[in-house]
Amino acid sequence: MKTALGKLTKAVIDRPGVTGTAIGLSGGRPCLKVYVEDLRAAGRIPSRVDGHRVEVEETGTFNRR
């Protein structure tokens, strides 16, 4: 799953509105996560990478201090 996460991260991390990626859970099952500021940024994010489900989760904007 780590290899799939690396592929997903390379594919989406520079897109506007994407704040991060991770390995997470969905319904108690492992999945890949893409975090976005707003769900409108979710366009063209793959639904699967190397057979692993990809979920998009809205985080809002992060502020650095």
Segment 59-65 mean pLDDT? 75
Q: Enumerate long-range contacts of 31-34, CB under 8 Å, 24 or more apart.
A: 31/55, 32/1, 32/4, 32/5, 32/8, 33/57, 34/8
Predicted pLDDT of residue 36? 95
What is the model's pTM? 0.88
Q: What is the per-residue pLDDT across 5-52, written as a single tens digit (0 to 9) for each?
A: 999 999 999 999 999 999 999 999 999 999 999 888 788 899 999 999
Boundaries of every domain in the chain? 2-58
Model confidence at 60, in pLDDT bands (50, 70, 90)? Answer: confident
